Amino acid sequence: MNTTALTAPPRPATVAVRAWRDVEPVTRYLPSMSLGTVEVAGPSGPAAQRLWDLGARRVEIPGTVDLTSPDTATTTDTATATATASATVHRLCLIRDLTARAVQVDWTLRLGPRAEAWEELGHLQPPTALLGPADPDAALRLWTDTHHVGKCLWRKGPGFVQIRDRRWGELRRFTVDEPDYQEVIERLVDGAPQADLPAHILADLRGEQLVGQVGELFWWLPYRVRRWAHAPIVL
């Protein structure tokens, strides 16, 4: 693969989340259950680990993750669009990496009107509120009913990456042993501009629905396995 200069993605804005030591809503107001507001910035994996180490088992993401916003190709204010895309990808990656640790996440998501628009994100903790689909309550109910830990994950072995994807009902397994593909996956983990990604590799990964897009940024959808579920789910 040709070596090219990388264009660093915009630094994600800090997000102030609220966190609690227990998943049950009724325990929020018990003494010492609240961790208060925690400022989260930087790569999502270490940020999720810091929250876990603090004792967070339920996290509330502020605002709405809006996947219907204009992208940088269709708006004249490209700086604002890029910053918005970066903030959105930052939140999505944080939700992904909290899901990997079985942390309950309270968040709001806005999608387009297609009934199945949620399925690409169906491995993430279901949102508290879903906006956009014609019947959002039915879509959210189906998302919640079919969600389980380990629905779409990846692990890194010596010289390979393995992905296991159950978002579509059946198990899809991929083993990636090409170094250039593995390098692109590493770039995508916290989001990367299209200019930094070889077009043919991005097309392959997008074709398998393993990469999400927000504006001009692309991000890695599977979460890295942190907690194994029961064997029948992941084998």
pLDDT at position 106 is 97
Q: Which two tokens stand for residue 78?
A: 């490209």
What are residue 165's DSSP bridge partners? 152, 172
Distance of alpha carbon 16 from alpha carbon 146, whole angstroms? 29
Lowest mean pLDDT among 52-56, 77-81, 132-136, 194-198: 77-81
Tens digit of each residue's pLDDT (9 = 90 or more) over 151-182: 999 999 999 999 999 999 999 999 999 999 99
Q: Which two tokens stand for residue 68?
A: 């219907």
Looking at residue 70, what is its pLDDT?
A: 57
Reply yes or no on whether the pLDDT at 61 is more than 70. Answer: yes
> Average pLDDT of 198-202?
97
How many CB atoms are located within 10 Å of the residue 168 CB?
12
CA of residue 69 relative to chain centroid, distance? 17
Identify the bridge partners of residue 105 per DSSP, sorted by sequence position: 59
- What separation in angstroms does the CA of 214 have from each of 15, 24, 40, 85, 233? 18, 32, 20, 6, 30
The pLDDT of 201-205, averaged and rounded, is 97
Residue 27 has pLDDT above 70, yes or no: yes
Q: Angle at the Cα of 222 (from 25 to 131), degrees rounded to 5?
A: 50
Residue 54: pLDDT band by 50, 70, 90 thresholds? Answer: very high
Under the banding of pLDDT at 50, 70 and 90, the label for residue 232 is very low
Q: Tell me what the pLDDT averaged over the chain comes to.
A: 88
- The string of pLDDT tens digits covering residues 86-134 is 999 999 999 999 999 999 999 999 999 888 899 999 999 999 999 999 9
| Token pair listed for 217 | 């940024």
Burial environment of residue 60 by CB neighbours within 10 A (0 to 12, 13 to 18, 19 or more): middle
Contact 93, 188 (CB under 8 A): no
From first CA to last CA, the distance across the chain in angstroms is 33
Domains of the chain: 15-148 (no CATH), 153-234 (1.10.10)
Question: Quick check: 20 and 98 in contact, CB under 8 A?
Answer: no
| Predicted pLDDT of residue 9 | 45
Q: Are strands 129-131 and 104-110 parallel, antiparallel or unpaired?
A: parallel
Of 12 and 69, which is predicted with more confidence? 69
pLDDT value, residue 80: 81
Length of the chain counted residue by residue: 235
Q: How far apart are CA 196 and CA 211, in angstroms?
A: 14
Model confidence at 30: pLDDT above 80: yes
Q: Structure tokens of 69?
A: 């916003």
